[in-house]
A and B are shown apart, each in its own frame.
Chain A
Amino acid sequence: MDKGKKIWRKNLIKSLTLGVFLFLLSFTFEPYNQGQLALVLMLFIGVLSLTVLTGASGQISLGQGALMAVGGYASASLITNLGASIWVGFLVAVSATAIFGLILGTAAARVSGPYLAGTTLVIALALPSVANRFESVLGGDVGLIVDFGTPPAWISNLIEVGYEQWQLWVALPVALTALFFTSNLMASRAGRSWQAVRDDEIGAAVSGIPVARTKVIVFVVSSAIAGLGGALYGLRGLVGPSVYPVSLSLTLLTAAILGGVGSIAGAFIGTLIVVFLPDLIDWAISGLAISEQFSNYLPSLLTGVLLLATIIINPAGVMGAGHRRKH
């Protein structure tokens, strides 16, 4: 068996094992934590898109949430206007965001660093205006109402499935597909060429890697992954500008940094932190007499502190720290 096939098999086993683990875990969780775990999987896909873009190719995006929105709108438009299934919606979301990423990536390849970050941020900020300009199709600033629906009869006849559990079960195969795809991609020849561009553009060019084209390809792939995550994320109830605000992009970036930019395991751990940290804080302060006005903002405050501490003390994030210890 050649090396590529072995990596492919190893990633398949890892993805399936994680899937089985989370599937079994869904039976032990209360609905709230089932919903939170589903949210982890949705955001994890978004963070994976950053892992590819920033971790593998070194490009910075502050507007990844807007790419998720493109996927969300593509999927929701199809579901609400044509009655398509959510699974078809996912495919369309990936395709539409890939095309959007191609257009954006072509422009993005000409800029780098803070300019690229600024460009992507502007796209995220422009989203409400775009949604409002095409109100009849995109639902204006309210958005399009979509959801996960209910389990098919053959499942609900077998077992009682709650709304949050169903969310988790839908999110699981989608996230695992993204995980499997990204894991293989990062370990592939293409992934290595992206990393070469990230580490030294001139060196990569000398080695025969077309730098500009590579950057565009990475943008397309990253966008497609973000679009998939966005379609899934929108199914929580609504696809609209307020669902994909700039703060979503920053949350994705926070998760990527906390876990370790460029690490797939780090992406998962970082997402777990940003999703479950508010609950941990809630639990920690539950016995204290703190006003709601303050306690409602404590998670954001502490996440910010954690982010700053990570950047200053351990810039490589959780997985980066583990990696250093191994060596």
Chain B
Amino acid sequence: MKTIIKSHKINCLLCLATLVIGITSCSKELVYKNMPGIYIDKEKLTARDSTAYSFAEKSATLMLDTIYIPVKISGELSGTDRIVPLEANAAKTNATAGTHYQILPTVVKANELTARAAILVKRTPDQKTKQLRIYLEIVPNAEFPLAIANTKTNSTFNGEPSATYKPGYLIKLTDQILKPDTWDGSGSWFKYYFGAYSAVKFKFIIEVTGRTVWGDRARYGADAPTSAQLQVYYTKVITALYEYEKINGPMIDETGNQVTFPKI
């Protein structure tokens, strides 16, 4: 009988405690407040913080192109479309809106988490002699009031995010030959077939092969050459360099180093 009474007492105490927690949990301070935000989804970008876009690597007739920037929301989904508040930072941008680029209106559709912001870039004569910068960033507004600073990758190392990304994104725009962003990337065929980058070397490669569009690491995507084509390009450039050196001696690049290609 004593045991039964003791058990009942414990149950009563538990009920009381639960009631107290339940009541206090309804206090106003603990209610989740939705502050929607949006950020550039760097995880989806091969070049995380900037991209170099050169019309010189495209068809001579291409006057416009579109660069897509992936964005992702923070906070709850919305039942309505929301405009992506992507703008160019005037202090960090020397390209002229309308003349060199145009940020096209993009929305995050209702009940969706992501979108692709479209940036129209335009070919102009001045890009033949200089490189323009378009620094894009998210500017909080009424629909996305939360300002998101650095974002972190999902993958972790020793319990911490293995990478942190800055919020802005830089587009370097020109009509000159630029070092492809992915030249030194993992598994890059640029590096395998042609070795270390130099502007003189890349210009020579383009002249000899006639190819200006190389794609991601000269290996991936529809713009990349096939391995058979690369073998031919490799043969052409080492043969052309051999012939060049017979007449002119070593080819020297902009850093004073001799242009060479790896033996493969």
**Are chains A and B native binding partners rather than an unrelated pairing?**
no
